[in-house]
Structure 1
Amino acid sequence: MKLAFVVQRYGLDISGGAELHCRWVAEHMARYADVEVLTTRAEDYITWKNRYPAGPQTINGLTVRRFSVVRPRRPERFGRLQEKVLHHEHREKDELRWLDEEGPRSRSLLRYIRRNEAAYDYFIFFSYRYYHSYWGVRTVPRKALLVPTAERDPVIGLRLFKPLFRMPRAFIYNSCEERDMIRTVSRNDDVPGAVVGVGTETPASASAERFRARHGVEGDYLIYIGRVDQNKGCPELFDFFLRYKQDTGSPVKLVMIGGSVLPIPGHPDIRYLGILPEEDKFDALAGARLLVMPSFYESLSMVTLEAWAMGQPVLANARCDVLKGQCLRSNGGLYYGDYREFREALSLLLASAGLREALGRNGLAYYQANYTWQAIENKYLGLLGELEGK
């Protein structure tokens, strides 16, 4: 069987999000199939400027075919179009203009898919909201599997996506909540699909002491791992954390790891460390009292799974139904809907080592049952086997 994984960006230096999800799954599925990756030359998800050379290259043993983006995204035009399609009366052609600007617009990628349809058994498209998935699924619908990575944000309600969600041969969902949301907006219950997600691996050993020594972090700390931006709930996290410090006098610190597009408050107990190597990330996670996940929009949250794989509890934003659902299914974390609940849940977790350990154990059991790589590979193989049998 030959599989093409189709994603907006791809590379070893692209961390997090659907792009990392795609790379991990592609590398693992290469054990069972002939796998190639079809992607663009873009590295930056804000502008989609061509950076990587065009053509095939090999990354971790896989052939990666890169195609040029027609032009970079124009942020001001994109902002105006997004404001119109999300908040004002508009027509479907306005949504198509928005999609063109959302990008990354690569005609050569679509042309390759159309001309080489017969060379692949299935095309696995990642992220429904981008140009390559919308037009790619329409190009090869009977061979298209869609990993939507959909979040409960206003884009899911755009009318151009409703027919798209009824086109693929099958769906590979990240969570029950994502599946139910897409079925609600598109009535695509008759399209086959499976809730799969993505696996994760943790190091054989992690050292909190090594992290503290390298980065000069002392005392108890919460950890946030991920992109520091508005949609991830970081402004609210800063507000809640600083209010908590003022209300309780707690000495706890907030350690943040990941790239940032926001200013970081100048407070001595907020330690922003930027993007760190994997060893440092897992060392930091091992030493934390808990992982805090303030995001409003997630289709899964890989870092939450990493925390549970490390036996760490999670404090999550209940206004993200995926995070709340994962906490309920795993019994591996608490969740909050406002500052009062944040304050009480955090105080409870910091005060009780027994509670933290119990939640961490539950999270680890949930990870082992559902998100080891063997479990993920089996789900992909099961869905592909069902499709081959039809």
Structure 2
Amino acid sequence: MKKIAFIVCQYGKEVNGGAEIHCKMLAERLTPFYDVEVLTSTTIDISTFEPFYEEGLEIVNEVKVRRFQPIPFQKTRYEKLYKASKLGRKIRRNLYRLKILKWISNIFPVWSIGTKNEEEMLKSHGFYSPSLIEYVNQNVNNYQALILISYPYPSTYFIGKKYPSKCILIPTAHEEGDLYRSIQSKIFTKIFHIAFNTEAERDLCKKVFGNKLSKSSILAVGIDITDPASENHIIEKFNLPDSYILYFGRITSGKIGKLIDWFLEFKKNHKSNVKLVLTGRLFMEKVNNKDIIYTGFVSEAEKTALISKAKVVVNPSDKESLSLLLLESMALGKPVIVNGNCEVMKQHCIKSDFACDYFISKNDFLKKLELSLENSKYRDNMTRKAKEYVLTHYNWKKIISDLKILIEQVPVK
């Protein structure tokens, strides 16, 4: 049986990031066809990068997970190098905003401005693991393909740069500073194949990397719905009210934006007993308010039950390449409100004939939230279309078939 490896910064049952769950679902579904390994770190904490897992080999649902210790993280050093590495990113992003980066990239696809500083910055990152990279160097010829998950991380860059013809990149890209770094021009134009989640994600990368963008396709991901925990269980465990709005994922300012402030403003102006439930690990200061409930990390069964009982699900992030939360909620027939300033999320709404809806401002969010809670016609319209959209566009059988074809096309030296 041929061997393949997924390379991802975090992996495990305790990890709830979208890209990491995406990796887990793909890896487990490929085990009947390949000897599947995951090369990853020992950490799950994106603030301290302290070890959580033991270094070494572990079997997780028939997948061989090899964990490698990252370098000790020095926040001050990383921040210093991060600031020193802004030149290439700043130039390229400004050219993008002027709508001329695509045309310049057509002529000069690979950039070298600031790459030395950018590489040094990655070597100080909390996920940088020389031992993981060395393991790949020693064993690369044993693998049919290396599948790199998420473009900004050290292992993706250093392995993709050294073995581009061996790699399939699932970039999970969105409009953010890291995408404009000069070093990314070496990956996105040289890698064997790029498997995007959506057309909106690919369109963004075409505007950044021009017509020299590597060969690509839309792969996406299917949806897994675990049987729910009992309603009584989640009500008692999390002290849930009858009516709540749900957010699921990492609780960081970059992900939830102004959600808490806007929700509290909504509460001031509406006589409603609705509360806000934030599910996932907390990486920001906790807001102590009787109308906000933090569940912490939950099991998949608890997540399904939390979504099923919610009045509405929100994803306020403007940095998404797919959004599993959105698709899982739609599969369960729940109204979902997303950030329309994220082109990927906006396209989900349009493509599904508004089986979900988007906001573009605070007032728009407050209006859509009121509709989703109080207007049954608005809710029913979304619910009716949502399940069909997910079933039609996120089918596991086709996705795994397409990925197998890509893996077999990777040239073997």
- Cross-structure match for 2:83: 83
Shift of 1:50: 4.3
Q: Secondary structure at the match of 1:38?
A: strand
For 1:189 and 1:116, locate their aligned partners in 2 and report how far apart those are by CA, in whole Å.
30
Matches within 5 A, 1:141-156: 141-156=164-179
Matches within 5 A, 1:353-364: 353-364=376-387
For 1:91 and 1:180, locate their aligned partners in 2 and report how far apart those are by CA, in whole Å.
25
Shift of 1:233: 2.6
Shift of 1:188: 4.9
Residues 1-43 of structure 1: CA deviation (Å, up to 9, x unaligned): 3211111222222222322221221011112222122223333
Shift of 1:276: 1.9
- Cross-structure match for 2:296: 274
2:323 aligned with 1:301? yes
Residues 165-216 of structure 1: CA deviation (Å, up to 9, x unaligned): 1111101112222211222211255522221222221134565455334433
For the 8 Å contact 1:128–1:149, the answer to whether it is kept is yes
- Relative contact order (C-alpha < 8 Å, sep 6+): which is higher? 2
Unaligned runs of 5+ in 1: none
Matches within 5 A, 1:255-294: 255-294=277-316
For the 8 Å contact 2:7–2:38, the answer to whether it is kept is yes
Residues 52-78 of structure 1: CA deviation (Å, up to 9, x unaligned): 333333222122223332x22211222
For 1:106 and 1:266, locate their aligned partners in 2 and report how far apart those are by CA, in whole Å.
37
For the 8 Å contact 1:165–1:188, the answer to whether it is kept is no
Shift of 1:259: 1.0
TM-score, structure 1 length as denominator?
A: 0.91
Residues 207-256 of structure 1: CA deviation (Å, up to 9, x unaligned): 5455334433223211111111111034x001111111112333321111
For the 8 Å contact 2:144–2:407, the answer to whether it is kept is no
Pairing partner for 1:254 from 271, 276, 290: 276
For 1:265 and 1:114, locate their aligned partners in 2 and report how far apart those are by CA, in whole Å.
46
For 1:216 and 1:44, locate their aligned partners in 2 and report how far apart those are by CA, in whole Å.
26
Shift of 1:387: 5.3
- Cross-structure match for 2:363: 340
Q: Secondary structure at the match of 1:199?
A: coil
For 2:68 and 2:241, locate their aligned partners in 1 and report how far apart those are by CA, in whole Å.
47
RMSD: 2.3
Matches within 5 A, 1:154-303: 154-188=177-211, 191-204=214-227, 207-208=230-231, 210-234=233-257, 236-303=258-325
2:311 aligned with 1:311? no
For the 8 Å contact 1:233–1:296, the answer to whether it is kept is no
- Cross-structure match for 1:7: 8
For 1:58 and 1:358, locate their aligned partners in 2 and report how far apart those are by CA, in whole Å.
44
TM-score, structure 2 length as denominator?
A: 0.87
Q: Secondary structure at the match of 1:276?
A: coil
For the 8 Å contact 1:207–1:287, the answer to whether it is kept is no
For the 8 Å contact 1:29–1:35, the answer to whether it is kept is yes
For 1:210 and 1:346, locate their aligned partners in 2 and report how far apart those are by CA, in whole Å.
27
For the 8 Å contact 1:128–1:146, the answer to whether it is kept is yes
Distance 1:112 1:213, change over 3 A: closer
Report percent identity of matched pairs.
30
Unaligned runs of 5+ in 2: 92-112
For the 8 Å contact 1:296–1:317, the answer to whether it is kept is yes
For 1:227 and 1:261, locate their aligned partners in 2 and report how far apart those are by CA, in whole Å.
7
